[in-house]
Amino acid sequence: MSRLLALDPLLRGSVTWSVFVVVVIKVVIAFVILLLAVLLYIWAMRKVIADMQNRIGPNRAGPYGVLQTLADGIKLFFKEQSIPDSADRPVFRLAPYLSIMPAFLMFCVVPIGGTVSILGHQTFLQVVDLPMGALFILAMSGLGVYGVMLAGWSSGSKYPLLGSVRASAQLLSYEAAFGLAILGVLIQAGTLSTHEIAVQQQWTNAWSFVSHWFWLKTFVAFAIFLVAATAETNHPPFDLVEAEQELVGGFNTEYTGIRFAIFYLAEFMNVITMSAIAVTLFLGGPSGPSLGFLARDNVVNVWLVPMVWFLVKVLALLFATVWVRASLPRMRYDRLMSLGWKWLIEIAILWVLVTATVQVAMVEDWNRLLAASIAVVAAVAGYGVLYASMPKSGEQIEEFR
Amino acid sequence: MEAVVFFVCAAAVIIGALGVIAGRNPVHSALFLLLTLVSIAVLYLQQHAALVAAIQIVVYASAIVVLFLFVITLLGVDKQEAPDDAHPVQRVAAVVLGVLALTGILVLVHGNRWVTGSPSARGGLGRAETGNVETLAKSLFTDFVWAFEMTAVLLVIAVVGSVVLARRSGHRAEAPVAEVPVAEVPVAEVPAAEPAAGERTPA
């Protein structure tokens, strides 16, 4: 039964005109929501950081400066675009779009609400529910590397190239930890569909946020996911891609006008999408207590309440990213690499082993506590052996001399 | 609808393939390869092989081609190739072999139905909505677990081998440095270098 939920009921029957219209509406709305969210997020980020640093922040355009990002966007849109002489022109033009497409596509599998009916069709409030949605997230985050890499290479100058090589190494390194963290959820959920993962975290009683949501059941994976997602989105403290004092501006140094704006947009779109994915996988997605004084199938409880819950959770995570941006200094590059390769990937693999053991113990009806503790002991011992065999940072430098 | 998707993707696959061999710039070739790989992923999706399509993108498009580009940009071999090649026979041989291979494939496809015949050796693909992950996982971890584990061992051997090879060549390069008599090293250099190493140990 639950398997059947993995496909949107909208697309089960034959495709009629009204189905087509619903799909188009969903795509357009998702795109508009994401663009608006980026505008507001950039404004809120600047305001919050300003507050944390005892400044005022943007306050000229619109009430509380809320239109500041829009003004910046309009300015960039009408700015002259320059392409360096040494640039590879077709690739230089292509790169911004390669950067923004995966950022948007990744958002398409995120459920932002429950099951509703539009124009007489039952459908999920997400653009598409793919049977391998979680793998789609991984695929798109992998494709995001191209925008950064090609932008740096095609600029035909040194700093962007260095920035992009550095960025692609970082993204590739954290891709593994990112995927393994998602795997921790997938093993427990037993499905790849994002909709079904959200359904499994449904709000049934007041303790659902502990017993049903995956953040506690997979707390190690959750922590690794947050770190790896921060690194994947080049967000501070992992923003080595655009380390100003070393690289001028990183991969987008040579970009101006609307092309620069697209990179900027993609970067913040990625932050929002990653927060939405973290909410979907670990924090219950749109689930939350509905309004008790209204009927369960009341339009407010079906449409509005899940969306509000989703929004609240995403906003909480976004605030946390801003907080991190304001408080943590940028990491050193070798520390970044050793965190990714020597800690996150190993811990994520061992966590996957522990989760799998517990899952098998549940199916085979073994003593769950015993199985879990044996698995944890084995994992810790395994990491100990690994850690002992790793060259210490001092030794590594000896080796290079 | 299906035909439209197929022809668009097939055209993209062929354009990409031609671009890979016709492109003078290695980066452009890699991008055309990406076009081919992504279009093939769409074709897989059309065959209801959602998992294969996803893996096609995750492994080939977002790992292997990125690695190609990484090497190209890092080694700085992204120069335009000169059109004249050292071995003029190569070009003729390539064309002949290519035509032979194409004929071979066409003959096989024409004579046998195993290419387009029954969709799977393991029975039906299962329901489309699960993306055949379960069917695949079940046969991978029951009947074919030996082959699966052997593949894993093979990959580990390849990784270990490449690490060993890389290390060995590193030692060879270092060897002449070690033969420098100790006395010739200026004494002042030793204390200057040591704090730099000491700084990083607390990490």
B200, pLDDT greater than 50: no
Looking at residue A204, the DSSP 8-state letter turns out to be: -
Residue B196: per-residue pLDDT: 42
Q: Would you list which residues of chain A are within 8 Å, Cβ to Cβ, of chain B?
A: 3-4, 6-7, 88, 90-91, 94, 130-132, 135-136, 138-139, 141-143, 145-146, 149-150, 152-154, 161, 164-165, 168-169, 172, 175, 192, 334-335, 338, 392-394, 397-398, 401
- A211, HSE (Cβ side, Cα atoms, 13 Å): 7
CA atoms within 13 A on the CB side of A244: 1
Q: Shortest Cα distance from B138 to chain A (angstroms)?
A: 13
Q: Do A131 and B74 touch (CB under 8 A)?
A: no
pLDDT value of residue A214: 85
Mutant choice from A132, A337, A397 vs B, greatest count of B C-beta within 10 A: A132
Q: What is the 3-state secondary structure (H, E, C) of A349-383?
A: HHHHHHHHHHHHHHHHCCCHHHHHHHHHHHHHHHH
- The per-residue pLDDT for B83 is 59
Residue A118 has pLDDT above 90, yes or no: no
pLDDT at A85 over 50: yes
Closest approach of B181 to chain A, Cα-based (Å):
16
B79 dihedral zone (left: phi>0; alpha: psi -120 to 50; beta): beta
What distance lies between CA A255 and its chain's CA centroid?
25
According to the model, what pLDDT value does residue A5 have? 36
pLDDT of residue B203: 35
Give the pLDDT of residue B181: 46
pLDDT tens-digit readout, A253-270: 888 888 888 888 888 999
Give the mean pLDDT of A303-319.
89
A117 sits in which H/E element: strand A115-118
Query: What mean pLDDT do residues B135-163 have?
Result: 88
* Higher per-residue pLDDT: A6 or B53: B53
Q: Give the Cβ contact number of residue B81 at 10 Å.
A: 12
Q: Residue A200, Cα to own-chain centre: how many angstroms?
A: 20
Chain B residues touching residue A130 (CB < 8 angstroms): 50, 131
DSSP notation for A177-202? HHHHHHHHHHHHHT---HHHHHHHT-
pTM for this entry: 0.82
Band of residue A4 on the pLDDT scale cut at 50, 70, 90: very low
Parallel/antiparallel/unpaired status of strands A121-124 and A115-118:
antiparallel
3-state secondary structure of B3: helix
Tell which of A135, A148, A199, A395 to mutate to test the B interface (max B CBs under 10 Å).
A135
Angle (CA) A128 A130 A134, round 5° = 115
* pLDDT band of B150, cuts 50, 70, 90: very high
Which residue in the set B54, B128, B198 is minimally distant from A135, CB to CB?
A: B54
Q: For A290-299, b where at least 16 C-beta lie within 10 A, e where not — what string?
A: beeeeeeeee
In terms of average pLDDT, the best of A70-74, A164-168, B70-74, B83-87 is A70-74
Mean pLDDT along residues A351-373: 85
Answer whether residue A49 shows pLDDT above 50: yes
Other residues' Cβ atoms within 10 Å of the Cβ of residue A98: 21
CB distance A346 to A389 below 8 Å: no
User: What is the pLDDT at residue B190?
Assistant: 42
Across the range A288-296, mean pLDDT stands at 76
Report chain B's mean pLDDT, rounded to a whole number: 74
**Residues B66-90: tens digit of each pLDDT:** 888 888 877 766 565 565 666 778 8
pLDDT band at B188 (very low <50, low <70, confident <90, very high): very low
Indicate which of B25, B27, B37, B62 best probes the interface with A, i.e. most A CBs within 10 Å of its own CB.
Answer: B62
Question: pLDDT-based confidence at B112, cuts 50/70/90?
Answer: low
Residue A222 has pLDDT above 80, yes or no: yes
**Residue written as tokens 């995927």?**
A179
Give rounded-to-5 percent helix, strand, coil for chain A: 70, 0, 25
Residue A307 pLDDT more than 50? yes
Cis status of the peptide bond prior to A131, with omega within 30 of 0: no
The share of chain A scoring above pLDDT 90, in percent, equals 13
ipTM attached to this prediction: 0.80
Counting residues of chain B whose pLDDT is more than 90, the rounded percentage is 19
**pLDDT for B25-68, tens place per residue?**
888 888 899 999 999 998 888 877 778 888 888 888 888 888 88
**Dist CA A46 CA A56 (whole Å):** 9
Burial class (CB in 10 A: 0-12, 13-18, 19+), B160: exposed
Q: What is the pLDDT of residue B82?
A: 60
Whether residue B114 has pLDDT greater than 80: no
